[in-house]
Structure formats: structure tokens, C-alpha cells
């Protein structure tokens, strides 16, 4: 072993102690099914699994298991109170905090790929159609798109709904009972979609290893490229927001402040994990910091500052991080991976 290798090994072992603080004080579960999605409601952290189950994790109470779908839980959203799920059994479900299940719709062999919630609006997509159930309407309003829907997102005040598909994004705007649309065009397949918190930009992840964005005021295109892998996760962080993204050996954080957002600017790169590829990003609310999950199961916590060292939150267990969620009162963190391992741990000492 060369001196350099010895040095690296020593460095790695100090970086990866046997058990991290959060691992030693947390609860560990293996649920034998991939963790596919998670959301934080005002009462719990809800987690979806590849065997169709949904589990609710409460601060200071035992988790609750709900047999929801007869297949993979593909998507999940919340309005803060109830949870919406879409499954590969074709069902679109509404699940209450005490585990009551209400089937909103059943598309049979067509999957419910994406779901979204805003106050009393419940939205899902199946194939190229989006269906919206609003409080004052019994029947779903159906919105058609040129091809299969890849992602759904409401803006901050629930007025606009962005729907991504092949070749771009359709932005629907609600005016009373009518929805009008405009189309943002960019070649290729778009999946996850999100409005910036100020509502000025829309960003999508693409089938290629890149992001695409539009400034809505003038439809100026933003291409965010240079990733070695697909971007599976992104999140807005901070008041003058950065878009923190996975898909590289670290988290790539694009600045969206100022007049032109990331146009012509360099991203902030934090939470470097060597050869591993980041697969999940979750902000620590109230701080300019993110949890970054990697394909080997490592989770790092880093401030959005290239000069600060990241903390190791979870050691590698071998399979990729597919969910990170912070509990409603910010007391606990949930980390899930594609092998069904869950860590549920108090974030702070003496919690």
C-alpha cells in the first residue's frame, strides 16, 4: 500500500466512523421493499414502498403501516393534511393520517405516474391525461397533453399547474372554473418539474443527464448541463434560492437570485463524495443547508458553502438513497434506500 493509499484509507476511516451519531441514536428498519417516495405532512413523514405499502412515521410515536396499493407506490404528494398516492396498480388514493384509504380513481392497467396536491385540489396523471378534482366539483376535470406526463407541480399559490411531457412543459392557469394553457418547448423528454419559489422560473429534469429551465417572463431557455448521470432529485434551498441538484459526485447548486438566475453563472458545488453519484437532495428548512444522498447509501449534510466540510449523516450501506425527509417539527430525519433500509433518527442531541 502506498503512502497515499494509506493516507486516503486513514482519511476515509475518520470520515466514515463505524456508526454516525444519527445512526447510533436512531431506529433502523429493513422493510424488504425499495423505498420509492416520501412526503412530510403536518403530522408525520409518509413513505411509499415497492410492495404497495405506505408507512407513517410520527415524532414520538410508533410508525403506522398502511396496505395501500397492490404494486409499487409510484408517486406521493400532500396538502399538509392528507396524502395522495399513485400506483402501478392504476389506483389514485387519498390516505388520511389515521390510515383510512379512499380510492379517488382507478385506471386499471394504466399506471398513475404522478400526483400533486394543493389545498383541496387533488391531481394525478395517467398516460398523457391529467385529472383534477377540485373542492367544488364532483367530477374530475381532464386536461390532455401531447404525450405521457413525466411530472406535475403547482406553483406556490396553487394558481398554476406545470405538466411536463415529451418536448416541453404545459403551464395551466386557473381562472375561475376554466384552465388555460401555454406551452414551453424544448426537445427531449422532461420528467420532474418545479416552479421556483418566486414563481419566475420552471425547471425540469431530462432523460439526458441535464436540466432545462425557462424564465417565464420571456420564455428564455436555461440549459444546465455537464452532469455524469441523470438528475433524479432536486430541491430549492434558501430565501434567495439555489436549485440544489443530484446527478454528480456532489450536489450542484444553481443560483436563481438576481435578474438572470443561473444564466452565465457558475453553480456552487458542495458535499463531495468521491466517486459516488448523488441521488437525493433534501433541504434542512430554515438553514442554507442540504442533506445529500448517494448511490452507495452515504448521506452527507452540507451548508451551501464550498469552504465548509460536510458532515457524514449515514454511512454507505451499498444501495442508493431514494428518500430523505425531515419531520414536521424538524426533530427527526428519515432516510430510505432502494433495498428498503430505513433510518429514523432524532436530528439533534437530547431530543
Partner 1 sequence: MNDMSQVPVTVLTGFLGAGKTTLLNRILTEQHGQKYAVIVNEFGEQGIDNDLVVDADEEVFEMNNGCICCTVRGDLIRILGGLMKRADKLDAIIVETTGLADPAPVAQTFFVDQDVSDRTKLDAIVTVADAVHLSSQLGEHHEAEEQIAFADVVLLNKIDLVDDKAIENVQTRIRKINPYAKIIKTNHCSAPLNEVLGLNAFSLDRVLEVEPDFLESDHDHEHDDDVTSLSFVSETPLDMDKFQTWFGNLLQEKGQDILRSKGILNFEGKDDRYVFQGVHMLMDASPMGAWPTGKDRSSRVVFIGRNLESMNLQEGFEGCKVA
Contacting positions for partner 1 (CB under 8 A): 32-34, 36, 49-52, 70-72, 74, 88-89, 109-111, 113, 127-128, 147-148, 150, 166-167, 186-189, 206-209, 229-230, 338, 340
Per-residue burial over 122-138, b if 16 or more Cβ lie within 10 Å, else e, is bbbbbeebbbbbbeeee
What is the smallest separation between the CB atom of 19 and partner 1, expressed in angstroms?
27
Nearest CB to partner 1, comparing residues 247 and 310: 247
What is the smallest separation between the CB atom of 262 and partner 1, expressed in angstroms?
19
What is the smallest separation between the CB atom of 191 and partner 1, expressed in angstroms?
8
**Cβ(119)–Cβ(159) below 8 Å:** no
CB atoms within 10 A of CB 223: 13
Nearest CB to partner 1, comparing residues 142 and 350: 142
> Which parts of 209-276 fold into alpha helices (H)?
none
Which triple of cell numbers denotes residue 206?
431530462
Q: 113: left (phi > 0), else alpha (psi -120 to 50), else beta?
A: alpha
Cα dihedral across residues 305, 307, 308, 314: positive or negative: positive
Place of cell 401555454: 182
What is the smallest separation between the CB atom of 31 and partner 1, expressed in angstroms?
9
What is the smallest separation between the CB atom of 89 and partner 1, expressed in angstroms?
7
* Residue 295 CA to its chain's centroid (Å): 15
What is the smallest separation between the CB atom of 109 and partner 1, expressed in angstroms?
5
Nearest CB to partner 1, comparing residues 186 and 311: 186
What is the smallest separation between the CB atom of 113 and partner 1, expressed in angstroms?
7
CA 351/CA 244 separation, integer angstroms: 28
Nearest CB to partner 1, comparing residues 79 and 341: 341
Nearest CB to partner 1, comparing residues 167 and 197: 167
Nearest CB to partner 1, comparing residues 166 and 311: 166
Nearest CB to partner 1, comparing residues 279 and 298: 279
CA 151/CA 191 separation, integer angstroms: 5
Q: Cβ contacts of residue 302 below 8 Å, gap of 6+?
A: 251, 270, 271, 289, 290, 292, 308, 309, 310, 311
Which triple of cell numbers denotes residue 220?
428564455
What is the smallest separation between the CB atom of 132 and partner 1, expressed in angstroms?
21
What is the smallest separation between the CB atom of 166 and partner 1, expressed in angstroms?
4
SS (H, E, C) 173-228: EEECCEEEEEEEEEEEEEEEEEECCCCCEEEEEECCCCEEEEECCCCEEEEECCCC
Nearest CB to partner 1, comparing residues 13 and 207: 207
**Cβ(324)–Cβ(282) below 8 Å:** yes
Nearest CB to partner 1, comparing residues 148 and 315: 148
Amino acid at each position: 500500500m502506498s503512502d497515499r493509499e494509506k493516507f486516503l484509507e486513514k482519511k476515509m476511516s475518520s470520515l466514515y466512523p463505524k456508526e454516525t451519531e444519527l445512526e447510533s441514536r436512531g431506529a433502523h428498519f429493513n422493510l424488504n421493499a425499495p423505498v420509492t417516495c416520501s412526503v412530510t405532512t403536518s403530522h408525520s413523514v409518509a413513505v411509499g414502498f415497492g410492495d404497495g405499502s405506505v408507512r407513517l412515521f410520527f415524532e414520538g410515536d410508533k410508525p403506522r403501516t398502511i396496505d395501500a396499493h397492490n404494486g409499487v407506490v409510484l408517486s406521493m404528494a400532500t396538502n399538509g393534511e392528507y396524502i395522495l398516492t399513485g400506483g402501478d396498480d392504476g389506483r389514485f388514493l387519498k390516505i388520511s393520517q389515521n390510515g383510512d384509504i379512499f380510492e379517488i380513481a382507478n385506471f386499471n392497467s394504466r399506471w398513475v405516474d404522478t400526483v400533486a396536491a394543493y389545498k383541496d385540489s387533488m391531481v394525478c396523471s395517467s398516460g398523457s391525461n391529467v385529472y383534477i378534482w377540485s373542492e367544488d366539483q364532483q367530477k374530475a376535470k381532464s386536461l390532455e397533453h401531447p404525450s405521457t406526463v413525466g411530472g406535475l407541480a403547482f406553483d406556490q399559490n396553487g394558481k398554476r399547474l406545470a405538466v411536463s411531457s415529451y418536448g416541453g412543459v404545459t403551464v395551466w392557469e386557473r381562472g375561475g372554473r376554466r384552465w388555460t394553457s401555454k406551452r414551453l418547448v424544448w426537445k427531449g423528454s422532461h420528467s420532474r418539474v418545479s416552479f421556483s419559489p418566486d414563481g419566475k422560473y420552471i425547471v425540469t429534469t431530462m432523460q439526458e443527464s441535464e436540466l432545462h429551465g425557462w424564465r417565464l417572463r420571456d420564455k428564455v431557455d436555461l440549459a444546465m448541463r455537464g452532469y455524469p448521470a441523470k438528475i433524479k432529485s432536486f430541491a430549492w434551498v434558501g430565501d434567495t434560492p439555489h436549485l440544489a441538484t443530484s446527478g454528480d459526485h456532489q450536489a450542484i447548486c444553481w443560483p436563481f437570485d438576481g435578474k438572470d438566475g443561473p444564466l452565465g453563472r457558475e453553480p456552487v458545488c458542495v458535499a463531495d463524495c468521491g466517486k459516488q453519484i448523488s441521488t437525493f437532495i433534501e433541504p434542512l428548512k430554515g438553514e442554507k443547508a442540504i442533506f445529500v444522498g448517494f448511490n452507495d447509501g452515504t448521506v452527507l449534510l452540507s451548508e451551501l458553502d464550498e469552504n465548509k466540510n460536510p458532515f457524514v449523516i449515514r454511512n454507505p450501506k451499498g444501495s442508493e438513497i431514494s428518500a430523505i425527509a425531515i419531520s414536521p417539527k424538524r426533530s427527526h430525519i428519515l432516510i430510505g434506500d432502494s433495498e428498503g433500509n430505513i433510518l429514523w433518527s432524532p436530528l439533534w442531541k437530547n431530543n
